Structure 1
Amino acid sequence: MAWRRTILGLASFLGLVASGLCGDGPAEPVRPVDMVPLFNGRDLSGLSTWLKDAGRADPRRVFRVEDGVLHISGDGFGYVGTREAYRDYQLTVEYRWGARTDGGTSVRNSGVLLHANGPDGGAGGVWMSSVECQLAQGCVGDLIVIRGEDAGGAVASVRLTSDVVIGPDGKPRWKPGGTPRTFTSGQLWWSRHDPEFRELLDTRGREDVESPLGEWTRVECECDGSRIAVRVNGAAVDACYDVVPSSGRILLQTEGFELFVRKFEIRPLTK
């Protein structure tokens, strides 16, 4: 009967893999049919954490809930994010900065990692392979390609294409009707990024649409198939297409700066 137990054990293992309960990959991406509160305002249910220096543990309580708000202390580098993978959704994140600035004199910096795939820490031991929607001061809405390992340990395929113009500072900015450019690395700057902006703590560009320091900023990422469109406080700031991958986990970074998040939710796409 040993052969029978072996077959049953193998079947059980394969079932776990298929359901996303074994290994690093989540189950088949979920397409929401109603509003899904990724953060419930009470605890970290449905979320997992990663820190470069502690892995899946969080001994310093970098990620915690206080007064119904997700508090990211900024102590270290890593992320809190969904256990589930998602596709075809509208993401809303509302955040404001705290006082902690371990990042020194540079701008306050964080980000939302979209379509995250592969193992935790698969990109340099810190992030996952993904497309980042930047939350850094002066750069909110920039899109960044992050390539790390895939589930098999090979270099992940991550890319996006956007219509761009080159600004006087030499940086590519999103502009409808511009020249198509494919990014397999680097940064796609938001449309009205100030070419004279210097990335110093608590500075602003002349046309920034993010809220003043201490106030809440609303970022919306519409992920529709292989397209991503970003709005900041209601203003369209960036967009791309032919995005690979087109689904995955959704992560919030900790990157040396304190951050408070009061809304982290997705909704189905509307026509």
Structure 2
Amino acid sequence: MNMILLTAALAQAAPSPVEQARAIVGDPPATPQTLVLTDVPKPTGPMRALFNGRDLSGWQPWLGYPDPVVTYRDKPGATPIGRARSTAGDFAVKSIDGKPAMWVKGETWGALVHDADLRDYHLRLEFRWGDKRWAPRADQPPNNGLLYHTHGAPGTVFGTWQPSVEFEIMSGSTGMAVAVGRDVRIRTTAALDPSLISPPVRYRMGGKPVEIVNGSLVWNVENARDAERPAGQWNVLDLYVLGDRAVHVVNGVPVMVVEGLATVGDGGVRTPLTHGHVQLQSEGAETWFRSVTVEPIDRLPMVVAR
């Protein structure tokens, strides 16, 4: 068999992402779910503002590569910027819509990492998209992220982020769960959604159990549905975290429930991931954040399907 025929035969034999996902989660759900948040916990202590409305006190910047296009390469052939230069043109506090907000330019990929090591909390913030988009995502949906249970050294993941669980902030996908770092593990339930490019799996209460692993077919699970408001409007994100479990809520709509948050070390030893810092990403889109608060809780809200 010549090389052209062999290549064609191998391409035909290789299962598609949809076929691979079907083997994991089965066939698509017959109807979409409407999820409702109930029995919201009362705080067990005072609320704390993570943004003081004046400056970036408490937030540590970190920048990845000067050219973000190399970010996901195993051997990028470049050195991360880190904190080697001023980041005043990347992160700042400015006024928008009559109030102060944290501004993320988005051109150079990286993050703002808060000093606090948090556990068992309800975090709330407001975000909205700015107008600017940057290569290599200039023509793609605007993208950012709220990363929690952050641990490890700055730049551990692709020279740009610290290992974390991600509450995705991306137009159409806000609330998606992503494993940031090869050591992070996330458990949830999902169903096949062939309309998604890859991986074609979407959160579904009562769906098939899956584990999200960076570098595998299921490196993320899409939100239950898109609950983001139109561009130019502010969105409210609520993150409820208790130990190794969490609930992602977008504008009052629960869109993701995760559990079994963990890290896996040498020899496959699994350690529950129950606390850490939070990061606000810079990933190709101008983004505004404000009203970032956290309060302690001792239980998670309930999520029911109707």
Q: Sort the TM-score into its range (normalised by shorter chain).
A: 0.7 to 0.9
Q: Across the two proteins, how many residue pairs are aligned to each other?
A: 218
Distance 1:183 1:225 in 2: 18
2:75 aligned with 1:41: no
> Runs in 1 of length 4+ with deviation above 4 angstroms?
none
Task: Tell me how far apart the structure 1 counterparts of residues 87 and 162 of structure 2 sit (CA, whole Å).
Answer: 21
Q: Does structure 2 retain, via aligned residues, the 8 Å contact 1:51–1:58?
A: no
- The reply on whether 1:69 has 2:101 as its aligned counterpart is yes
- Cα separation, 2, equivalents of 1:47 and 1:134: 20
Alignment of 1:215 onto 2:230: no
Q: Is the 8 A contact 2:107 2:284 kept in 1?
A: yes
CA contact (8 A) 2:179 2:213 kept: yes
Q: Secondary structure at the match of 1:110?
A: strand
The equivalent of 2:224 in structure 1 is 191
Q: Which residue of 2 aligns with 1:268?
A: 296
Match of 1:195 in 2: none
Match of 1:252 in 2: 280
Amino acid at match of 1:66: K
User: CA contact under 8 A between 1:163 and 1:176: conserved in structure 2?
Assistant: yes
Give the Cα–Cα distance (whole angstroms) in 2 for the partners of residues 168 and 119 of structure 1: 37
**1:4-83 mapped onto 2 (5 Å cutoff):** 33-53=45-65, 54-56=81-83, 57-67=85-95, 68-83=100-115
- Tell me the CA shift for residue 34 of structure 1: 1.9
Q: Offset of 1:270 from its aligned partner?
A: 5.8
The 1:44–1:60 alpha-carbon spacing in structure 2 relative to 1, beyond 3 Å, is closer
Deviations 1:247-267 (A, max 9, x none): 111000011111111122211
Which of 72, 86, 92 is matched with 2:118 structurally? Answer: 86
Aligned to 2:243: 225
Letter of the structure 2 residue corresponding to residue 257 of structure 1: A
Q: How well do the aligned residues superpose, as a CA RMSD in angstroms?
A: 1.7
1:146 aligns with one of 176, 180, 195: 180
* Alpha-carbon separation, structure 1, partners of 2:235 and 2:87: 29
CA distance in 2, matches of 1:270, 1:235: 21
Equivalent residue number for residue 130 of structure 2: 98
> Are 2:136 and 1:136 equivalent residues in the alignment?
no
Task: Say which SS state the counterpart of residue 126 (structure 1) adopts.
Answer: coil
- The residue aligned with 1:182 is 211
- Say yes or no: does 1:167 pair with 2:193: yes
By how many angstroms is 1:190 displaced?
0.7
Percent identity reads 30
How far is 1:167 from its partner?
1.6
Contact 1:32/1:266 (CA < 8 Å) preserved in 2? Answer: no
Any stretches of 5+ residues in structure 1 without a counterpart? 1-30, 149-156, 193-207
Equivalent position to 1:114, from 137, 148, 155: 148
SS at match of 2:170: coil
C-alpha deviation, 1:212, in angstroms: 0.6
In structure 2, what is the equivalent of residue 7 of structure 1? none
- Using the TM superposition, give the Cα deviation of residue 210 of structure 1 relative to its aligned residue in structure 2, in angstroms: 0.5
Hey, what does 2:14 align to over in structure 1? none
Q: Distance in 2 between matches of 1:98 and 1:70?
A: 12
Distance 1:70 1:32, change over 3 A: farther
Deviation (angstroms), 1:60: 4.8
Structure 2 spans left out of the alignment, 5+ residues: 1-42, 66-80, 263-272, 300-306
Shift of 1:160: 1.0
Question: Following TM superposition, by how much is the alpha carbon of 1:61 offset from its aligned partner in structure 2, in angstroms?
Answer: 2.2
Secondary structure of the 1:181 match is strand
Cα gap change, 1:78/1:96 in structure 2, threshold over 3 Å: closer, same or farther? Answer: same
